[in-house]
Amino acid sequence: SQKIEQNSEALNIQEGKTATLTCNYTNYSPAYLQWYRQDPGRGPVFLLLIRENEKEKRKERLKVTFDTTLKQSLFHITASQPADSATYLCAPAYNKLIFGAGTRLAVHP
């Protein structure tokens, strides 16, 4: 069956550093992959989409890569801020989105 793996351990980093989150998937070939941000007690909010024919996508301080050979996406936040603290969900998609469990990011001042 299709499986999404995100690091279940929280990622703690210092303000100003680059945060890198990993998403690995197995048993399917998604046409695109999305990243969402979820704050406690709230629904996920869409951040970025990257298609299978794109290697990299950027939006302000966010960068996403998509390696279909490794079956992996990396999500980077540069110059991180405490306001970036949240859980980040990846969602590879073929016919429908399949969500990973998310990685919690904590940015410390």
Give every CB contact of residue 59 below 8 A, 6+ residues apart in sequence: 47, 48
Minimum gap (Å) between residue 44 Cβ and other proteins: 5
99 binds other proteins (CB under 8 A): yes
Closest listed residue to residue 47, CA positions, set 75, 5, 8: 75
Residue selected from 63, 100, 103, 104 as contacting other proteins according to rule CB under 8 A:
100
94 binds other proteins (CB under 8 A): no
C-alpha 66/C-alpha 20 separation (Å) is: 13
Minimum gap (Å) between residue 88 Cβ and other proteins: 12
Question: Of 80 and 105, which CB lies nearer to other proteins in the complex structure?
Answer: 105
Residue selected from 11, 13, 62, 98 as contacting other proteins according to rule CB under 8 A:
98
Q: How many CB atoms lie within 10 A of CB 32?
A: 16
Binding mask 37-76 toward other proteins (x if CB under 8 A, else -) reads: ----xxxxxx--x---------------------------
Residue 82 gets which letter from DSSP? G
In what order do the strands lie in the sheet containing 45-51?
A: 11-14, 103-108, 86-93, 32-38, 45-51
| Positions in the binding site for other proteins (CB under 8 A) | 4, 8, 32, 34, 41-46, 49, 89, 93, 96-102
